[in-house]
Structure 1
Amino acid sequence: MKEKSYHPSIWRNTVFMKLFASYSVSMMGNYFDAIAIMIIFGYVWQAEPIMIAFIPVAIALPQALLGQFAGVLTDRMNKVKLMMIADILTALLTLLLMVTPNPWLALIVISMRSVVNVIHFPAQQGLIKQVVGEEHLVKAFSLNGMMMQLSKIIAPLLGGMVAGAASPQLCLLINAIAFSLSSLILFSIYRKQEKPDFFLSKTENNDQMSFWQSWREGWGLVLQSRILFVSFCFSFTGLLFIQMIDVQFITWFRDLAPTRPEMIGWLFASSGFGAVVMIMGLNRFKAFRSYGWLLGGSMLCIGIGFAGVGLLKPGFDLWLPVLYGIVVGLGVGLYTIGFQYIIHKNTTEDSIGRVSGISNSIASLCVVLAPLIGGALVQAFEAGAVFTGVGAICLVLGIIGILFQKFLWAETVFLKVSSN
């Protein structure tokens, strides 16, 4: 296993900062893309709720089917090269998405794009594990998390204005340009790597194991570690309920405020603001004392925000969805940092790709199944009632995680927490 280069500050870690720049550009493009797709489906094509529910399914199904196998590949192949190729293909498919004439063809292109993107999450997590020292892990997660949430604030606001002033297709073009720039940044890392296999994380055991042996070993790591197993079960139970209605915001606000499509952008932006506030607070710590507050607190905040959105009535005060979005964002910030931290603290450099791939695969399976259930529920009942019910379930789950954390995460090592 290669030794990490010591950097007194994460800002002096050249490889990580280039990786962070690539992530920042592509993430900004992603949220321009998300706004464009929601506006095209919801307002241009006037798609039914069940059709809108197929959007996350088209994104997540390839991730669910291929995510864990992508994790095995990233533990065996050059991570930077894989990410660079994926970014180029993503840019080309986004250009194709611009000219699709109907929802069904758009869903096919979105699925194709998800196939090439399946490598990103495990490859990125593996690279962070390789190039960032343990003392800087929380800062690395915080930087990535803050950039993702800032993208949620900036891109929806700008994307809404661009889509209104020109067309949502222009937002798709911005995403294609962003992924092209990301691939160029990754190429600069690939070109200057110290040796051809520098970004391969393999040991003698990995060299001797077959692909399927590596895959089984990854599952063994998750099932044998109580911390990982409980964290996976807790997180993905919450995610299953959240994803039932996460994509139905457009349906609910289309009923509540049919002449205010920009409310979706405000909600996304306020959620991003809340997450940034939480992540900045967590950035003060070098380690975390317990995991129940991270994951349980996340579900608690998300439950409160979702339930509040579900209780909105026509003619609501405009500050209310902004407030609920901020509360949801606080929970997202806790989850963003907490779950990544748990995975990194309980894996090695040679297993992080497989465990991250399994995580991505299970999360994507939730995204495949849950929106279909949620879409059916919203068509059968009022969307507000479904939002309120899901919020209540998340609220209860969060309380359980906080109150019973010593039992659930019995193997948690109580680490010293120090602020900068």
Structure 2
Amino acid sequence: MSIVNIKKETIWQNSIFMKLFASYSVSMLGHWFDMVAIIILFGYVWQANPVMIALIPVAYALPHVLLGQFAGVLSDKFHKVKIMMYADFITAVLTVCLLFTNTPWMALVIISLRATVNVVHTPAQQGLIKLVVKENLIMKAVTLNGTVNQLAKIIGPFIGATLIGLVSPKICILINAIAFTISAFILLFVYLDKEMKRITTVPKNETALIEESFWGAWRQGWLIIFKRRVIVVSFIATFLGLTVIQMVDIQFPVLFRELAPHFPELTGWLMGGSGLGAVVMIIFLNRFETLKHFGWLIGAGMLLVGGGFGGVGFLKEGFNVLYPVFLCFIGGLGVGLLTITPQYIIQKETKEHEIGRVSGIFSSIISFTVLASPLMGGFLVQIFGVIPLYLSSGAVLLLIGTVLVTFNTFLFPEQKAEKEILAVDAK
């Protein structure tokens, strides 16, 4: 009698995805090196005024708000690896130009141009996962990318700040230029390999999108979303949740300069606690092949973040420093759920020729919260104060989370599609 060992394929055996993953990892790490360098350049080297510093996130986010939807159309029309490769090469060139910039205004222009070029990355990357990863491994791919994203937010600023202290902010900008160059060459290798190029190409019989007009393809993207309740509800819920989160997330320094004015490093500890929570949750989700009950998942994310923010609002002077760090860790767990679940929904609820447009629209919506929410939060703090804002934001998130969990079956009828697929297979 012979025993046959059947090994399940793992995501690590997918050579094309691992090359795309390497490209993404390198570029994300370089991006966060660059981010901390720019903040220090504006704040300490150029002594820019608060308004100029406030324009930095605008320069990053505004192109995504304005162009994210149209970048999704482009990623559906053309070869995704090719447009990502071009975007990385151009980003590297613009980053080198940033090295020779000595004024905040010129730096903002170059940052905006880079962000404009990079708008194509999110929809193209989501589309490539759909093309090259098997159905049962999509969850692994999404969580791996999410883990790298969160780790880069922690490692990049930490190492970058250390290098800046030893050398110069522009060394981190140079590292970003090198990182995007390496990323572009990895993508070039994928594109030049005939077999890899074939696999990363949407079959022509799948769609007539290439012949369709640009605006027609854009309208069709919105129709795809509105025809599928799971996508619509998840987009609305995520938008509402992130709007509230972004309103108060930026106000941590304001809160703790009132409660702990001689402990400025606490803000950095809280950011680290939140990032660690997100990483832990994403690594936990990586254990699963599929996700179900999306209302429970998104709702649980809201409840966790709401509990964290609400708890911070109850802090008094003389608090134990571990308490807010723990609360931010709890909130980070919720952020991990809110990061991964919508991405997984986009992968599961779209086809190969649709995912770029849907992902581009989602990216545009989320980027809008980055622009508008901090301004709303600052306005509300001026009127009501920072502690009432944290308490009310926590309450709103808890309410939204409770509604999503309670009405999961009605809001997210994902089981219907699964039953239909099983019925077809049975026939």
TM-score by length of 2: 0.86
**Residue of 218, 231, 238 corresponding to 2:241:** 238
1:125 corresponds to 2:126? yes
Residues 1:187 and 1:208: Cα distance change in structure 2 (over 3 Å): closer
Residue 355 of structure 2 is matched in structure 1 by 352
Residues 1:114 and 1:246: Cα distance change in structure 2 (over 3 Å): farther
Residues 1:231 and 1:284: Cα distance change in structure 2 (over 3 Å): same
Which amino acid in structure 2 is aligned with residue 132 of structure 1? V
8 A Cα contact 1:98 1:173, kept in partner = yes
Which amino acid in structure 2 is aligned with residue 395 of structure 1? L
Q: What SS is found at the alignment partner of 2:77? A: coil
Residues 1:325 and 1:158: Cα distance change in structure 2 (over 3 Å): farther
Distance of 2:196 and 2:290 partners within structure 1: 33
Deviates more, 1:341-350 or 1:101-110: 101-110
Which amino acid in structure 2 is aligned with residue 206 of structure 1? L
Residue 24 of structure 2 is matched in structure 1 by 23
Q: Which runs of 5+ in 2 are unaligned?
A: 1-7, 420-427
Residues 1:314 and 1:167: Cα distance change in structure 2 (over 3 Å): farther
Residue 422 of structure 2 is matched in structure 1 by none
Q: Deviation per CA, 1:365-408: give whole Å up to 9, x if none.
A: 22222222223334555444434432332222112211221222
**Residue of 322, 325, 334 corresponding to 1:322:** 325
**Residue of 212, 216, 221 corresponding to 2:219:** 216
Residue 144 of structure 1 is matched in structure 2 by 145
Distance of 2:169 and 2:318 partners within structure 1: 27
Deviates more, 1:146-155 or 1:117-126: 146-155
Which amino acid in structure 2 is aligned with residue 10 of structure 1? I
8 A Cα contact 2:131 2:199, kept in partner = no
1:336 corresponds to 2:350? no
Q: What SS is found at the alignment partner of 2:201? A: coil
Q: Deviation per CA, 1:307-334: give whole Å up to 9, x if none.
A: 3444545665432342233112201211
Distance of 2:293 and 2:417 partners within structure 1: 7
Q: What SS is found at the alignment partner of 1:194? A: helix
Residues 1:191 and 1:290: Cα distance change in structure 2 (over 3 Å): same
Which amino acid in structure 2 is aligned with residue 365 of structure 1? F
Q: CA deviation at 1:104?
A: 4.0
Which amino acid in structure 1 is aligned with residue 20 of structure 2? L
Residues 1:383 and 1:168: Cα distance change in structure 2 (over 3 Å): farther
**Residue of 266, 273, 277 corresponding to 1:274:** 277
Q: CA deviation at 1:249?
A: 3.7
1:301 corresponds to 2:304? yes
Distance of 1:73 and 1:354 partners within structure 2: 8
Distance of 2:101 and 2:213 partners within structure 1: 41
Q: CA deviation at 1:19?
A: 0.6
Deviates more, 1:329-338 or 1:16-25: 329-338
Q: Deviation per CA, 1:23-78: give whole Å up to 9, x if none.
A: 11111122223333444455556666655443322212111111111111111111
Residues 1:47 and 1:261: Cα distance change in structure 2 (over 3 Å): farther
Residue 84 of structure 1 is matched in structure 2 by 85
Match runs of 1:67-78 below 5 Å: 67-78=68-79
Residue 36 of structure 2 is matched in structure 1 by 35
Q: Which runs of 5+ in 1 are unaligned?
A: 1-6
Match runs of 1:167-186 below 5 Å: 167-186=168-187
8 A Cα contact 1:288 1:415, kept in partner = no
CA RMSD of aligned residues (A): 2.8
8 A Cα contact 1:84 1:187, kept in partner = yes
Which amino acid in structure 2 is aligned with residue 180 of structure 1? T
Distance of 1:312 and 1:167 partners within structure 2: 38
Residue 194 of structure 1 is matched in structure 2 by 195
Residues 1:301 and 1:52: Cα distance change in structure 2 (over 3 Å): farther
8 A Cα contact 2:190 2:197, kept in partner = no
Which amino acid in structure 2 is aligned with residue 56 of structure 1? P
Residues 1:8 and 1:268: Cα distance change in structure 2 (over 3 Å): same
Q: What SS is found at the alignment partner of 2:21? A: helix
> Which entry has the higher C-alpha Rg, 1 or 2?
2
Residue 206 of structure 1 is matched in structure 2 by 209
Residue 423 of structure 2 is matched in structure 1 by none
8 A Cα contact 1:226 1:409, kept in partner = yes
Q: Deviation per CA, 1:227-259: give whole Å up to 9, x if none.
A: 111111111111222222333445555666666
Distance of 1:387 and 1:363 partners within structure 2: 21
What is the number of equivalent residue pairs in this alignment?
A: 411
Which amino acid in structure 2 is aligned with residue 286 of structure 1? E
Residues 1:266 and 1:373: Cα distance change in structure 2 (over 3 Å): same
Residues 1:401 and 1:99: Cα distance change in structure 2 (over 3 Å): farther
Distance of 2:314 and 2:323 partners within structure 1: 10
Percent of residue pairs bearing the same amino acid type? 53
Q: Deviation per CA, 1:87-141: give whole Å up to 9, x if none.
A: 1222233334445445444333322211011000000001100000001011111
Distance of 1:290 and 1:185 partners within structure 2: 37
Distance of 1:175 and 1:312 partners within structure 2: 39
Which amino acid in structure 1 is aligned with residue 126 of structure 2? Q
Q: What SS is found at the alignment partner of 1:90? A: helix
Distance of 1:283 and 1:130 partners within structure 2: 20
TM-score by length of 1: 0.88
Q: CA deviation at 1:296?
A: 1.0
Which amino acid in structure 1 is aligned with residue 32 of structure 2? Y
